[in-house]
Amino acid sequence: MSKDNTLVTRAARLSVAPMMDWTDRHCRFLHRLLSRETLLYTEMVTSPALVRGRAFHLLAHSPEEHPVALQLGGSDPVELAEAARIGAEAGYDEINLNVGCPSDRVQSGTFGAVLMRQPDLVAECCAAMQAVVDVPVTVKCRIGVDDQEPREVLPSFLETVSGAGVTRFSIHARKAWLKGLSPKENRDIPPLDYPLVYEMKQNFPHLHLSLNGGVGSLKEALGHLEMGLDGVMIGRAAYHQPWDILGAADRLVFGVEAPCSDPLDSVEAMLPYVEEHLSEGGKLGQISKHMLGLFAGQPGARLWRRVLSEGAHKEGAGVALIKEALDVVRGAREGALEAQK
C-alpha cells in the first residue's frame, strides 16, 4: 500500500457499524460532531449498484466525515475490484467487504453471510480489491452460519482470508441463521460468543480484530478492549444513544479532548449543515431522524423526540423547528435543576 493507513487503523479501536437505512451521510456527519476519532461506516453498497447501475450518488459524503469506510456487498472478484476502485477514488479511507448480512436479498445475490461458506472466494475477492486500491481492505463477518461449528469455521475463515493479505476483521459474535430467522431476529436470537472472539485474538495475534454484536455501552466496549481486542464496533446503541456512546469516546477510548462537552453544542454545530441541506432541496426529516436519540436518558428527551417527530415532515419545516426543540430541552433541564434544589 502506498497510502499511510495509520489514521484509519487507529480509528478502528472504536467504530460505528454499517447499518442499512441508518448510517447514511447525514447520520455520519452528526456522529463526527460527537467524536473526531471514531471510525464511521457507510450503509452497505452493492458492487452491482456501483459498477452496473452507476449509482455514484450512494458514495456522496462530506469531507468532515473522515476517517470513513465504505462497506461493499458482492461476490464477484472483478466487479468488487472495480467497485473498490470507484470507492477509493471517491475518497473513502477503507473498503470493507460484507460477509455478515443475512437478508434474503443478499443471499440471492450470493453475498453477505452466505459467504462464510466460501472463504476461498472471499480471499479471492479481497485480493482483487487490494490489487487496485491503496487503502485497507477489511472484512466484517459472522462466527458462522446455520449448522456450521464456529470453533472450526471461524479460525479456518480467518486463516484463509488473511492469507490473501487482509489484516483487519470485524467479527459479529453471533451465528447467522439463513433460513428461519429474519435479519432483525439474526441480530438478537443467535447467542453471543464473545469468548470465541477473544480466543481468535490469542490465536491470530498479528491480526487486528474488532468485536461486534450486542455491545450496548461505552463501558462494555472498554471492557472488551481491556480483554485484549484491538477494536469494538457498536451498532444500534451508537445510533439510539449517540451522545452516551460517542460523546465520551474520544476521551475514554482515544485519550484526546472531545469536540463537544454537551449534546446541545452538537445540535448548534449541526444547524449550518441542516440549512445547507434544505437550501439544496432536501427535507428536514432526512437529517432530524438521526438526531432523535441525542438526549436519551436526559431531561427533555421525550419532548425533544416529539417536537422533531411531529414537526419535521410538515411543509416548510426547517432550522426553526430544531431551535424550538432545543428550547424545550433547555426548559426541561432548568426544571430538573429547580426540582433538585
| Residue from 27, 101, 125, 141 carrying the catalytic annotation | 101
Parallel, antiparallel, or unpaired: how do β-strands 14-16 and 39-46 relate? parallel
Half-sphere exposure of 288 (CA within 13 A, CB side): 27
Q: Cell 434544589 belongs to which residue?
A: 341
Which cell is 268 given? 448548534
Query: 192 and 173 in contact (C-beta within 8 Å)?
Result: yes
CA distances from 329 to 135, 283, 305, 308, 319 (A): 42, 23, 10, 12, 15
Which cell is 314 given? 410538515
Torsion (CA) 222, 226, 229, 235 in degrees, nearest 10: -10
The distance of Cα 81 from the centroid of its chain, to the nearest Å, equals 22
- The model carries a pTM of 0.95
Which cell is 126 given? 479481497
* AA letter at 209: L
Half-sphere exposure of 228 (CA within 13 A, CB side): 14
Task: Walk along the chain (341 residues) and give the pLDDT tens digit of each residue.
Answer: 335 588 899 999 999 999 999 999 999 999 999 999 999 999 999 999 999 999 999 999 999 999 999 999 999 999 999 999 999 999 999 999 999 988 766 555 678 999 999 999 999 999 999 999 999 999 999 999 999 999 999 999 999 999 999 999 999 999 999 887 888 888 888 899 999 999 999 999 999 999 999 999 999 999 999 999 999 999 999 999 999 999 999 999 999 999 999 999 999 999 999 999 999 999 999 999 999 999 999 999 999 999 999 999 999 999 999 999 999 999 999 988 888 87
Q: Cell 432548568 belongs to which residue?
A: 334
**290/309 Cα distance (integer angstroms):** 11
Parallel, antiparallel, or unpaired: how do β-strands 94-99 and 68-73 relate? parallel
**271/291 Cα distance (integer angstroms):** 12
- 125 tagged catalytic: no
Adjacent-strand bridge partners of 15: 39, 233
* CA nearest neighbour of 177 among 148, 139, 213: 148
Which cell is 153 given? 469455521
